[in-house]
Structures are given as C-alpha cells and as structure tokens.
Amino acid sequence: MDTLELAHTIVEALEEKKGEDIIILDIEETSLLANYFVICSGTSPRMIDALSEAAFDVVKQKYGVRPRVEGSPNGGWILADYGDVILHLFSPDTRDYYALEELWSDGRVVLHLQ
C-alpha cells in the first residue's frame, strides 16, 4: 500500500464530509512515527464523528485496514493511527491549542485545502 495514496484517500473522504482546513504533512524525514500526518478540523463533535467514520469506512473498504484510535469527538480530538499515516481530527480550538503544524514545521506540506 502506497502511504501517500492512503493519505489522499483519507483526504477525499474528509472533503466529501466537508472537513475544514485539511493538510497532508510529510514528516518522513523528521520522524520515525509515521510518513504523513493528515490534519483536519470539524466544527462540532458530531462533525468530527462523521469525519472519522467516513475516513474509517473508505480506508476499510479500499485497503482492508482499521486504525488504532485515541480520543473522542466530545473531547475535540480524534487520532487514527494507520501506521505510516496518522489522521488528526480536531475542533478548531483544540487544533489551535496543539498547533501540530507549528510543532512539526520541519515537515513538508504536501497538500493544503482551506
């Protein structure tokens, strides 16, 4: 499985559900954790839940893979670990607080949809 293709598949699912400020961040050269972060905002717990379910469903259908999941929509953050691709779904306030784009600023932005 091509990890960049997986990241783009996740982004397509997020776009379809109206995810906001979607970024693919290439962290392969700066981290052993993963090759890519996909970062997206949802405006409510309900939307974050819908975004996560959409991503989970499309990846399961296309690749037969289920992620390890941490967090909850009501907490304003979900992390879905697909191995070389990690999906971060945030409420806007939680995203500002964690500032992953700043924390991982050595990574290269592959895609940014606002």
Q: What pLDDT does residue 100 have?
A: 94
Q: To which residue do tokens 């996560």 refer?
A: 52
Is CATH 3.30.460.10 the classification given to domain 3-102?
yes
Average pLDDT for 26-35? 92
Q: What pLDDT does residue 32 have?
A: 86
Model confidence at 96, in pLDDT bands (50, 70, 90)?
very high
- The torsion of the CA quartet 11, 90, 54, 104, rounded to 10 degrees, works out to 30
How many Cβ atoms sit within 10 Å of the Cβ of residue 33? 13
Strand order in the sheet with 77-81: 68-72, 77-81, 85-90, 36-41, 20-26, 108-113
The sign of the CA dihedral 94, 78, 109, 11 is: negative
Q: What pLDDT does residue 33 have?
A: 86
Average pLDDT for 6-25? 98
Give me the helix-helix angle, 45-63 and 3-16, nearest 10°.
Answer: 140
Domain-wise residue ranges, the chain: 3-102
